[in-house]
Each structure stands twice: as structure tokens, then as C-alpha cells.
């Protein structure tokens, strides 16, 4: 028998890109964002590189590096005992 992992989760954004777009993004990072280097690697023009970067960029969501917790998340943490009532009230009052 084998092992199975069940459940539902979302793949990271970059993993959801088509394989050729993943290769393109990897090359872009490895070339330190140099469009000139990308032109050389892929043998295409500056506008082609820019167009592809824009298309890929438009398909990605902005990642908030410090997301504000939602009301539900705060209440779940309170329910699990990770924070006390005073901390929960303070966080809830701080929501915009």
C-alpha cells in the first residue's frame, strides 16, 4: 500500500502558472530582472519580453506581506485559546 494525503489546499501562485511561464519567471529571477539578459536567453525583442512579463504579472495577485487578520480569524484564535478576550477586543477594535 501507499500513502495518501487528503484535503483541499490551494497551490501557490507560481505553481499555477503554465510550465513555460514558470521557466520564464525562473529565468527572469536568475538574470536579476535584466530584460537585456532575457532578450539574449530567449532570442526575442524587448517588447516581447515586456509583453510576456506584463501578461504573467497581470495573472498574479498582489501578495500582502503583512495581511490584517479578519474578524473571523481573530475569533477563531480566541476560541482556540491562542489569545485572550482582551487581546481579541484590542485586535477587533484595530480593524479598519
**Regions in the chain scoring below 70 on pLDDT:** 64-66, 96
**pLDDT value at residue 48:** 96
CA angle, corner 58, sides to 61 and 70, nearest 5? 15
**pLDDT value at residue 53:** 95
Domain range summary for the chain, segments of one domain joined by +: 13-59, 64-96
pTM: 0.57
Amino acid at each position: 500500500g501507499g500513502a495518501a494525503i487528503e484535503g483541499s489546499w490551494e497551490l501557490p501562485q507560481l505553481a499555477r502558472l503554465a510550465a513555460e511561464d514558470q521557466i520564464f519567471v525562473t529565468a527572469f529571477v536568475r538574470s536579476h530582472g535584466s530584460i537585456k539578459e532575457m532578450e539574449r536567453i530567449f532570442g526575442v525583442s524587448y517588447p516581447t519580453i515586456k509583453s510576456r512579463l506584463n501578461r504573467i504579472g497581470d495573472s498574479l495577485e498582489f501578495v500582502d506581506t503583512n495581511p490584517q487578520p479578519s474578524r473571523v480569524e481573530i475569533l477563531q484564535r480566541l476560541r482556540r485559546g491562542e489569545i485572550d478576550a482582551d487581546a481579541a477586543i484590542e485586535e477587533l477594535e484595530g480593524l479598519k
